[in-house]
Structure 1
Amino acid sequence: MNKYLWLIIVGIVIIGGGIAYTAFIRSEESAPVTTGNVREITITARKLHWTFDPEEITVERGDKIILTVVNEDDFDHGFSIDAFGISQRVPANQTIKAEFVATQVGDFPYYCSVPCGDSSILPGGVVEGGAYAGEKRGHFDQIGKMHVRSIISETQ
């Protein structure tokens, strides 16, 4: 058989498979969606508190997120949300921006991706203010959660 005929047959099978996947197999939750909404959110690494403020944020699937991450500390932090490919260093006393579309539904942690020590450097070894005053906090405690809701389930 002619090699070009084989290429045409293989191409038709691949294209047909893609169409069948899109039409019958792919779940509604994984389908691309855009709400047209732009959410500007500021998250702050509070000075010597080993916490992000706010610790939880809620958005809709399809929202364009413009994050501003403020580092009030005198040492570097990092900011990562693995599910959306965000990982940036936040230099001491500086601000970074990150943009992405919330394409997945679920709860996704955000965290400090730069080892930044713990509260043992403070007098008494505990955080002095904020929500965790009196507690020993460290790098692995500096986490938050992004809730991405499905706009489809909200209307049903």
Structure 2
Amino acid sequence: MKKITISCIIAVLLLALVSCSSQKEAKSVAWSGEVKKFNIRAFQFGYEPDTIEVNLGDKVVINAHTSDVPHGLALPDFGVNMKLTGEDSVRAEFIADKAGEFEWYCSIPCGRGHGSMRGKLIVRDVENEN
């Protein structure tokens, strides 16, 4: 009897938790037809360029390489985690399906300045800016 009561209480609490939780409605963003390409060079301890801008719905193509030691370029908001281990470029592609400012960072320890290796992707929602 005690197990049934505890199970019922847990079930009611879970149901209440699920029904009260605020869920964001996923906004589907279609590809705008625009392709924005960027060549990014990683070096101790930065990126060139360190800021890139696109519009919401653009297809973003990043070709990145390192000019010295192994580096990474991680942009988790868009599922990107590039391993840059040589002069050859590594390519990542994604649709900029959310607006805002998103930080990328070096995902491979590369020395004392590793923590300062940051960059920024700015995705503008031009339809809703005005």
Q: What TM-score do the two structures reach when normalised by structure 2? A: 0.76
SS at match of 2:110: coil
Contact 1:106–1:147 (Cα < 8 Å) also in 2: yes
Deviation at 1:108, TM superposition (A): 0.3
Residue equivalent to 2:64: 69
1:51 aligns with 2:46: yes
Tell which structure's C-alpha radius of gyration is larger.
1
Q: Tell me the C-alpha RMSD between the 2 structures.
A: 1.6
Deviation at 1:153, TM superposition (A): 1.6
Unaligned stretches of 5+ in structure 2?
1-23
Contact 2:56–2:96 (Cα < 8 Å) also in 1: yes
Contact 2:74–2:105 (Cα < 8 Å) also in 1: yes
Matches of residues 22-33 of structure 1 in structure 2 within 5 Å?
A: 26=25, 30-33=27-30
Amino acid at match of 2:32: T
Amino acid at match of 1:99: E
Unaligned stretches of 5+ in structure 1?
1-24, 119-137
**114, 119, 122: which one aligns with 1:139:** 114
Amino acid at match of 1:61: L
Contact 1:50–1:142 (Cα < 8 Å) also in 2: yes
Identity score, percent: 32
- Distance across 2 between alignment mates of 1:143 and 1:153: 28
Contact 1:64–1:102 (Cα < 8 Å) also in 2: yes
Question: Aligned residue pairs: how many?
Answer: 107
- Distance across 2 between alignment mates of 1:78 and 1:26: 32
Amino acid at match of 1:65: V
SS at match of 1:33: coil
- Distance across 2 between alignment mates of 1:43 and 1:93: 12
SS at match of 2:107: coil
Deviation at 1:41, TM superposition (A): 0.6
- Distance across 2 between alignment mates of 1:153 and 1:43: 29
Contact 2:35–2:60 (Cα < 8 Å) also in 1: yes
Contact 1:57–1:145 (Cα < 8 Å) also in 2: yes
Contact 2:65–2:86 (Cα < 8 Å) also in 1: no
